[in-house]
């Protein structure tokens, strides 16, 4: 008998629910909005087999918020390609021209802290952010593994066989609401495939993989003529799920009724579906975040600059998701660094400040941690094409929320931005801090691997003292 997470009844239907396209969210480069999907049956949320989603949802009751979210969450923003630390948060104005570049620093709301002139919104809200300037610990690998798990590709493969933070939280905490997956990955498919990882489950297996509504998914929801607008109409929804009833009947006769019941939980609750629909937000909120675009001028081999993914992330954590991952832009600027970065930084500046400001406005800043970073920094010396090449020796990180101590800079690099000088911070130190803010003690917590051996979540298990 196959395991429950792999259960497929004969004739298992694939049911799709259509709805209006969501303009601006995962639209095509041509400007025509892509249609998104939620598939139920052989394929489920974002291509995740239904059993995998439901196996992670055992019988956890929905939490009742009592001020704030009622649960802790993290939003992980991956900046594919490795953004330049010297041109964002660690400008080197005393270095020679071939190193410092053309950007200038601006003062921030925190006296003594300066950042790039192309990040004015962050500068105005610096009291709500913390910057790490002495980040290190990654190899020269163009992939998201390090930024989502704390582990690069290693001898055991992607993430060295280890679970991403989202998968670990799914395993340790389970869902807040059984109709809402605990881990959602918004990263879309990219030309350079290793950028597309939304956070792999590693040895935890498919039951703790993220629900991944990718660039073909979310707003195109078709279920026997039931539109997205009718998802709130339980009677209309139930009238349209004959195919799913067959799935349930087959599951019951095969001894997997619990999974079938949870399939109904997902479908008959509009909470998760509505969280994905940014068109439910008012116009002022949409404009605060920005819509984003896939501007071909950037030669994207990673995710485009979809600013409203930040808004989707906020809506998802409010709906009960514990971890949301997303990717933003393509930052591998081997050429035209000083021509293209101003545009990219402006879009990031708008989206990240809208998210963090929104969390504060809603009283969620102590519940939701935010991290934004790339897999490495860029070379101190500017190359012949006015770009910067890969530089794993040093990078930077932006943090907010989670009750962390913000309004500060941690660490520094040397005069040329080559290596950490004061207070080196490893990528895993940041993960230890994020787990800590989620209420998970990485010094004491283990998870059994597929052989039943207990494994710590990280090799480095001390949170960053300045933040906690």
Tens digits of residue pLDDT in 258-297: 445 555 555 556 788 888 888 899 999 999 999 887 766 6
Asked whether residue 349 carries a pLDDT value surpassing 80, the answer given is yes
Specify the range with the lowest mean pLDDT, choosing from 12-26, 62-76, 328-342. 12-26
Give tens-digit pLDDT for 362-401.
999 999 999 999 999 999 999 999 999 999 999 999 999 9
43-57, 235-249, 288-302: lowest mean pLDDT where? 43-57
What is the second-level CATH architecture of the domain 65-215+286-456? 3-Layer(aba) Sandwich (3.40)
Residue-wise pLDDT for 431-458, tens only, equals 999 999 999 999 999 999 999 999 999 9
Q: What is the mean pLDDT of residues 108-119?
A: 98
Domain boundaries, the chain: 65-215+286-456
Q: Is the dihedral of CA 233, 238, 239, 243 positive or negative?
A: positive
pLDDT of 264 reads 57
- How far is 351 from 357, CA to CA, in rounded Å? 10
| Maximum distance among all Cα pairs of the chain, rounded to whole angstroms | 73
Please give the pLDDT value at position 273: 80
- Burial-class residue 403 by CB neighbours within 10 Å (0-12, 13-18, 19+): middle
Residue 22 has pLDDT above 80, yes or no: no
Residue 42's pLDDT is: 30
**Residue 214 confidence class, pLDDT cut points 50, 70, 90:** low
Spatial contact of 338 and 102, defined as CB atoms under 8 Å apart: yes
Closest to 370 in 3D by CA, of 347, 338, 337, 401: 401
Strand spans (E) along 79-202 = 105-107, 114-116, 129-136, 183-185
Q: How many Å apart are CA 103 and CA 92, to the nearest integer? A: 10
pLDDT at 269: 61
CB 463 within 8 Å of CB 436: yes
Residue 150: C-alpha distances to residues 182, 219, 321, 379 (Å): 19, 32, 21, 22
CA 391 vs CA 61, 147, 345, 446, 463: distances in Å: 46, 16, 19, 33, 25
Query: How far, CA to CA in Å, does 451 sit from each of 153, 154, 165, 448, 458?
Result: 21, 19, 20, 7, 18
Does residue 226 carry a pLDDT above 50? no
User: Could you report how far apart the first and last alpha carbons of the chain are, in Å?
Assistant: 48
Position 229 scores a pLDDT of 55
Q: From the DSSP assignment, how many helices (H) and strands (E) are in the chain?
A: 13, 18
Other residues' Cβ atoms within 10 Å of the Cβ of residue 8: 16
Average pLDDT of the chain to the nearest whole number = 81
CB 34 within 8 A of CB 216: yes
d(CA 31, CA 5): 38
Among the ranges given (34-48, 83-97, 375-389), the one the predictor scored with the smallest mean pLDDT: 34-48
Q: How far apart are CA 374 and CA 78, in angstroms?
A: 6
Higher-scoring residue by pLDDT: 248, 62: 248
Instruction: Indicate the helix (H) or strand (E) that contains 146.
Output: helix 145-149
pLDDT at 205 over 80: yes
Say if strands 73-78 and 368-373 run parallel, antiparallel, or are unpaired. parallel
Above 80 in pLDDT, residue 190?
yes
Between CA 237 and CA 366 the distance in angstroms is 37
- Rounded CA-CA distance 82/374 in Å is 4
């Amino acid at each position: 008998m196959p395991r429950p997470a792999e259960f497929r009844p004969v004739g298992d239907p694939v049911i799709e629910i259509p709805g209006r396209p969501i303009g601006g969210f995962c639209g095509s480069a041509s400007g025509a909005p892509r249609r998104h999907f939620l598939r139920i049956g052989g394929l489920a949320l974002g291509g995740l087999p239904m059993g995998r989603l439901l196996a992670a949802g055992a019988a956890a009751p929905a939490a009742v918020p009592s001020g704030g979210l009622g649960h802790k969450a993290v939003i992980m923003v991956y900046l594919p390609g490795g953004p330049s630390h010297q041109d964002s948060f660690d400008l080197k104005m005393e270095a020679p021209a071939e190193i410092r570049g053309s950007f200038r620093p601006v003062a921030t709301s925190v006296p003594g802290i300066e950042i790039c002139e192309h990040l004015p919104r962050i500068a105005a809200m610096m009291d709500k952010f913390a910057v790490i300037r002495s980040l290190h610990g990654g190899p020269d690998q163009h992939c998201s593994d390090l930024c989502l798990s704390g582990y690069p590709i290693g001898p055991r493969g992607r993430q060295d066989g280890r679970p991403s933070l989202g998968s670990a939280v799914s395993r340790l905490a389970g869902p807040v609401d059984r109709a809402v997956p605990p881990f959602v990955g918004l990263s879309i498919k990219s030309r350079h495939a290793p950028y597309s990882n939304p956070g792999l489950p590693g040895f935890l297996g498919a039951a703790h993989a993220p629900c991944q509504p990718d660039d073909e998914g979310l707003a195109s929801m078709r279920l026997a003529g039931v539109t997205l607008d009718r998802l709130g109409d339980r009677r209309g929804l139930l009238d349209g799920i004959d195919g799913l009833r067959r799935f349930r009947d087959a599951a019951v006769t095969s001894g997997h009724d619990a999974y079938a019941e949870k399939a109904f939980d997902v479908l008959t609750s509009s909470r998760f579906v509505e969280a994905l629909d940014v068109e439910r937000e008012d116009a002022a909120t949409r404009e605060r975040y920005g819509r984003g675009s896939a501007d071909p001028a950037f030669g994207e081999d990673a995710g485009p600059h979809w600013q409203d993914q930040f808004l989707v992330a906020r809506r998802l954590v409010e709906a009960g998701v514990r971890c949301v991952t997303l990717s933003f832009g393509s930052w591998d600027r081997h050429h035209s660094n000083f021509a293209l970065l101003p545009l990219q930084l402006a879009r990031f500046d708008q989206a990240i400040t809208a998210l963090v400001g929104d969390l504060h406005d809603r009283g969620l800043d102590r519940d939701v941690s935010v991290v934004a970073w790339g897999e490495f920094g860029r070379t101190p010396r500017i190359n012949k094409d006015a770009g910067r090449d890969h530089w794993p020796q040093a990078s930077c990180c932006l943090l907010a929320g989670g009750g962390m101590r913000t309004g500060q800079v941690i660490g520094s690099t040397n005069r040329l931005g080559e290596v950490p000088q004061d207070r080196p911070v490893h990528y895993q130190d940041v993960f230890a801090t994020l787990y800590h803010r989620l209420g998970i003690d990485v010094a004491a917590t283990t998870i059994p691997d597929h052989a039943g051996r207990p494994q710590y979540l990280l090799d480095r298990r001390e949170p960053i003292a300045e933040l906690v």
